[in-house]
Structure 1
Amino acid sequence: MSESFDVVIIGAGPGGYNAAIRAGQLGLKTAIIEKRDNKKLGGTCLNVGCIPSKALLHASQLYEIAEKDFAGLGIKTSGVSLDLPQMLKQKDDAVDALTNGVEFLMKKNKVTTFLGAGEIIAPGKVRVTGEKTVELEAKNIVIATGSEVTPLPGVEIDETQIVSSTGALALPKVPKHLVVIGGGVIGLELGSVWRRVGAKVTVVEFLDRILPTMDGEVSKQFQRILKKQGVDFKLSSKVTGAKKNKSNVKLTVEPAAGGEVETITADAVLVAIGRRPHTDKLGLETVGVKTDKRGFILTDHFKTNVDGVWAVGDCIHGPMLAHKAEDDAVACIELIAGKAGHVNYETVPNVVYTYPEVASVGKTEEQLKEEGVSYKTGKFPFMANSRAKTNHETDGFVKVLADAETDRVLGVHIVGVEAGELIAEAVSVMEFGGASEDIARTCHAHPTRSEAVRQAAMAVEGWTMQA
């Protein structure tokens, strides 16, 4: 006889496991299904995404600082060398600790975990195919299956010479030349890791700038910073083929608009052109759940067109970000429980965890111009911030965009050290419909980098005091 649940969740990433936690808190009998080969919860984010990449970004940054900056700070060392196996091990240790933590949270919130592939076989019924096959009855089914790497025609990923983000987290040696296909967040983060430990890195981007969804001014200055660090760029270019030899990969590259073809030789190639929803083999067609031509599940406040079937996270439209999936999950479960679940997608922050970081929330200047919105701009450089100056971390700036009539904050964009932490203030102000003056007249501790956010807000009305 099949077991019955109030909620069955397919997928145990940030969307799935947070949905399970909230459901448990609200007293719903809940099951979660995960098919990952390593039998670990946490999804792409914890296993082969956000968490391991940040572990390598942190370690590689410290390595580069020790190698290049210690002497200037008056710190003498007897020599710094790379222990790549240990660097990779500490990354794996962080992953293990956090995935075990998710397993604990499932038990704490009385969530039943099933390991295997989940498939909807009929309305209110899910089959789990793992070491043994079980069928579950569900009043509500939540699809939280996330996303997968988008493949590039002509460049076959083998996770050895041509890698996805997964393989780039576990290269057994530092490549002499790493070519990154794609100038988005994932490519720039992982490219930064391997550049810091000794690789030559070339980024090939189809569009005419990196971070194409971010503010144009941010994109330009950030590219200059990365170029100064040693990253090479080939913009408005496309990779049309890859030929693998025993020792290298030869890539065929040509202008995006067409033109003369060139060959680039690399030890390793990272394909990072984006991600796509993972929605196949879920039985969606069995019960008639609608998807668009790209595979995204169509929803209205997380409800699909089929009663009792919901979807959250990367497999529905919106930013493909772990924290967005988490907010989706909480709102979805609260709606199932009869509460007022809601997500404000205008205030979902986006962060690039390079050095320095890039962070943004809300509208870019390009979007405001396209929408015909009248706005004011305030900017402040970290070069004029006392903490940044003292720490020799002066690259970047803060930009605040506010409505020209109401002064309501419409967007904030930051390039700088710890930008990912600084953006939280802007998110909170925007969530409450605040104005640039609210930031400008809020006392900020001195000396901190957060003062740059305040000074940029002051600049909206032309009364910056520190520059």
Structure 2
Amino acid sequence: MKTRQVDVAVIGSGTAGMTAHKAARLQGKRVLMIESGPYGTTCARVGCMPSKLLIAAAEAAHAVAAAPGFGVHPGSVRIDGKQVMHRVRSERDRFVGFVLDGIDAIADEEKLRGHARFIGPGKLQVGEHSIVEATSIVIASGSTPIVPPEWQAAGERVITSDAVFEWTDLPSSVAVVGSGVIGLELGQALARLGVRVTLFARGNNVAQLTDPLVLQEAGAVLARELDIRFQTSVAHVEKTPDGSAIALTSRYAAGQEKTEQFEYLLAAIGRRPNVDQLGLETAQIALDRHGIPLYDPHTMQCGQSAIFIAGDADNALALLPEAADEGRIAGDNAARFPDVKPSLRRTPLTIAFTEPQIATLGATYRQLCASHAGRFAVGAVSFGNQGRSRVMLQNQGLLRVYAQFGSQRLLGAELIGPRAEHLSHLLAWACQAQLTVPALLDMPFYHPVIEEGVRTALRELALHLAKDPEHAPGCADCSPGV
């Protein structure tokens, strides 16, 4: 067993791990990055980039299908599944190649292959070949898709999003279980590419939304195009006798059951942090009831220890921008330990690339009901009759914006609507800049643009803010529990 001594050890080489390594190296520290799986980030290999490639193909197919609404009538459409997946895979490999170039640029002596586990607060065992003694350690071990054991028994017909991007052709049918971002994005994309898709949701959740009115609108809008079964659980899954499909028995809220066959079941019910095999019980740090280290989100430090955590491993927002920010903070503080300093945490921003797109930013409705009950107002706009949206035949969705009584500062927003990825950025920037609603209404708005819908919502919000909170229209729905 070889022993190595370093200043900072980083467990994981994903977005958080690579960023932490770079941050610590910039301070001149001896850094070692440890990886037990394939190099290349989740985003590039099986996440945001390949999924957007599949979505782009689906958007092209949908544009042809929607063209008659403009009086444009294309000829017959043929979707070549093999060609679709070839482009997805080849472009995916190109993006992964850029990440691997970054890994290759790291000196060999700063990389170590093998599974790391704690054998003490500042000591790791890597595989059966190395002991690493480090002044500080960054846990950036990522996450893994959740597949219940009873589903795994059905074999290779039960997959996660990781397997989708290894397909060489499109399947005939897929059951998608889970109405989070991954399930909705992939489910809608596959359906638009001609795959028979049914999406099963245990509750009424849609992506990351918490506002009950936006949730209601999102469910209705998406159900117009996609076969979504809300309040429906998976009771049983088994492989068909010939092994060519799975038989899925679903159970509705009222108790009725229905069995259907699909070529694949795509499990999209969430991801779990990769911390259970790290030997954290020997690290002498406090853990929550799920076994995740307790940490300060502004320093990423676990208690007062020399252990830091970043990315999906901390079970917060499993998003690339968050992983990059947390990796930078964790790596910087691990290098400067014990002189740990808080760093900037940006306004939360989450986007689902469905159509219409779904976004939340700043404080969510649920969070405000807990922290600002009766002290925040709501403004809204429906995109159903919004000018530019109607021009594009994309007039679906709802935006709700939130601001604080008194200060009139914008606190957050939730929406489903056209070009939400752009609208949400503007509003997130406004939140981080701590702009007030009057200040936002002083900003320029061109015509005709979708942003005029934002102005409509802000105008309604301003009217509510001008009233006494007890008499503000709609204030009742700001109370907890709604």
Query: 1:297·1:315 contact (CA, 8 Å) conserved in 2?
Result: no
Query: 1:21·1:106 contact (CA, 8 Å) conserved in 2?
Result: no
TM superposition score normalised by structure 1: 0.87
**2:266 partner SS:** strand
User: Aligned partners of 1:383, 1:239: CA distance in 2, in Å?
Assistant: 34
Kindly indicate whether residue 26 of structure 2 is the aligned counterpart of residue 25 of structure 1: yes
Find the partner of 1:65 among 63, 66, 91: 63
User: Aligned partners of 1:330, 1:40: CA distance in 2, in Å?
Assistant: 19
Structure 2 partner of 1:165: 161
User: Aligned partners of 2:304, 2:90: CA distance in 1, in Å?
Assistant: 41
* CA deviation after TM superposition for structure 1 residue 22, in Å: 2.4
Structure 1 partner of 2:460: 459
Kindly indicate whether residue 295 of structure 2 is the aligned counterpart of residue 299 of structure 1: yes
Structure 2 partner of 1:327: 325
Structure 2 partner of 1:95: 92
Structure 1 partner of 2:475: none
Structure 2 partner of 1:117: 115
User: Aligned partners of 1:428, 1:249: CA distance in 2, in Å?
Assistant: 46
With 9-18 and 80-89 compared, the bigger mean Cα shift is at 80-89
Structure 2 partner of 1:126: 124
User: Aligned partners of 2:4, 2:364: CA distance in 1, in Å?
Assistant: 49
User: Aligned partners of 1:310, 1:364: CA distance in 2, in Å?
Assistant: 27
* CA deviation after TM superposition for structure 1 residue 191, in Å: 0.6
Higher RCO structure, 1 or 2 (CA under 8 Å, sep 6+): 2
Structure 2 partner of 1:428: 429
Query: 1:243·1:251 contact (CA, 8 Å) conserved in 2?
Result: yes
1:419-463 per-position Cα deviation (integer Å, ceiling 9, x unaligned): 123211221221222222222211144443333323322221249
Kindly indicate whether residue 353 of structure 2 is the aligned counterpart of residue 353 of structure 1: yes
Structure 2 partner of 1:208: 204
**2:152 partner SS:** coil
Structure 2 partner of 1:187: 183
Structure 1 partner of 2:374: 373
Structure 1 partner of 2:50: 52
Structure 1 partner of 2:251: 254
CA distance 1:88–1:388, shift in 2 (3 Å) = same
* CA deviation after TM superposition for structure 1 residue 244, in Å: 1.0
CA distance 1:121–1:100, shift in 2 (3 Å) = farther
- Residue 227 of structure 2 aligns with an amino acid whose one-letter code is D
Query: 1:377·1:399 contact (CA, 8 Å) conserved in 2?
Result: yes
Structure 2 partner of 1:151: 147
CA distance 1:5–1:370, shift in 2 (3 Å) = closer
Find the partner of 1:315 among 295, 313, 316: 313
CA distance 1:5–1:74, shift in 2 (3 Å) = farther
Structure 1 partner of 2:39: 40
Structure 2 partner of 1:341: 342
With 405-414 and 90-99 compared, the bigger mean Cα shift is at 90-99
1:302-359 per-position Cα deviation (integer Å, ceiling 9, x unaligned): 22247321111222242222222222112223333346333547x2111111112100
CA distance 1:398–1:140, shift in 2 (3 Å) = same
- Residue 40 of structure 2 aligns with an amino acid whose one-letter code is L
Kindly indicate whether residue 276 of structure 2 is the aligned counterpart of residue 280 of structure 1: yes
* CA deviation after TM superposition for structure 1 residue 386, in Å: 4.1
- Residue 427 of structure 2 aligns with an amino acid whose one-letter code is A
* CA deviation after TM superposition for structure 1 residue 10, in Å: 0.7
User: Aligned partners of 2:374, 2:33: CA distance in 1, in Å?
Assistant: 44
**2:182 partner SS:** helix
- Residue 147 of structure 1 aligns with an amino acid whose one-letter code is S
CA distance 1:140–1:453, shift in 2 (3 Å) = same
TM superposition score normalised by structure 2: 0.85
CA distance 1:266–1:437, shift in 2 (3 Å) = same
Query: 2:358·2:416 contact (CA, 8 Å) conserved in 1?
Result: yes
- Residue 379 of structure 1 aligns with an amino acid whose one-letter code is A
CA distance 1:441–1:87, shift in 2 (3 Å) = same
Runs of 4+ in structure 1 displaced over 6 angstroms? none
Query: 1:150·1:275 contact (CA, 8 Å) conserved in 2?
Result: yes
Structure 2 partner of 1:139: 135
* CA deviation after TM superposition for structure 1 residue 280, in Å: 2.4
CA distance 1:212–1:335, shift in 2 (3 Å) = closer
Query: 1:278·1:295 contact (CA, 8 Å) conserved in 2?
Result: no
Query: 2:86·2:168 contact (CA, 8 Å) conserved in 1?
Result: no
Identity of aligned residues (%): 26
**How many residues matched?**
454
- Residue 234 of structure 1 aligns with an amino acid whose one-letter code is R
Query: 1:8·1:142 contact (CA, 8 Å) conserved in 2?
Result: yes
Query: 2:85·2:169 contact (CA, 8 Å) conserved in 1?
Result: no
Residues 380-419 of structure 1: pairs in structure 2 closer than 5 A:
380-419=381-420
User: Aligned partners of 1:113, 1:21: CA distance in 2, in Å?
Assistant: 13
Query: 1:34·1:41 contact (CA, 8 Å) conserved in 2?
Result: no
Query: 2:154·2:238 contact (CA, 8 Å) conserved in 1?
Result: no
Q: Extract unaligned runs of 5+ from structure 1.
A: none
CA distance 1:234–1:323, shift in 2 (3 Å) = same
**1:329 partner SS:** helix
**1:295 partner SS:** coil
**2:244 partner SS:** coil
Structure 1 partner of 2:80: 83
Query: 2:39·2:103 contact (CA, 8 Å) conserved in 1?
Result: no
CA RMSD in angstroms comes to 2.8
With 285-294 and 134-143 compared, the bigger mean Cα shift is at 285-294
- Residue 235 of structure 2 aligns with an amino acid whose one-letter code is T
User: Aligned partners of 1:153, 1:138: CA distance in 2, in Å?
Assistant: 36
Structure 1 partner of 2:471: none
Query: 1:154·1:240 contact (CA, 8 Å) conserved in 2?
Result: no
User: Aligned partners of 1:348, 1:109: CA distance in 2, in Å?
Assistant: 31
User: Aligned partners of 2:104, 2:182: CA distance in 1, in Å?
Assistant: 32
* CA deviation after TM superposition for structure 1 residue 380, in Å: 2.4
Find the partner of 1:244 among 236, 239, 255: 239
User: Aligned partners of 2:450, 2:22: CA distance in 1, in Å?
Assistant: 35
